[in-house]
Amino acid sequence: MVKAVKKALSEKATQELEAQIPEKASLATKHAYEKAKASGLTVLLSRDGFIIAERADGTQQIVRASKPRRKVKAGVALKLGSGVLVNAGA
């Protein structure tokens, strides 16, 4: 049996990889949206203060008004609707 040798990444390599996360997340979101539309599915979007259902044929329907975003500070605990506490920025 061959043992795998794990090498720790340098701080610089870790930072370079972490810097790629926003772009990769944005690209993955775009691909998921396009795949859903190509599959004939309806997607929900937040636009101009509303939640909008966008159908594969391009028609749109306002589902409801969206709630305003909350500004949060890193390290401050938030209480979510289910009573779960989370740390902002964690």
- Confirm whether 48 is domain-assigned: yes
User: How confident is the model at residue 2, as a pLDDT?
Assistant: 64
Inform me whether the pLDDT recorded for 88 exceeds 80.
no
To the nearest whole number, what is the mean pLDDT of the chain? Answer: 84
In a domain, residue 50? The reply is yes
Residue 5 lies in a domain: no
In this prediction, residue 8 carries a pLDDT of 85
> Residue 46 belongs to what domain range?
11-68
Q: How far is CA 12 from CA 15, 53, 56, 58, 89, in A?
A: 5, 42, 43, 44, 22
For the chain, the domain total comes to 1
Q: Residue holding tokens 């500004």?
A: 71
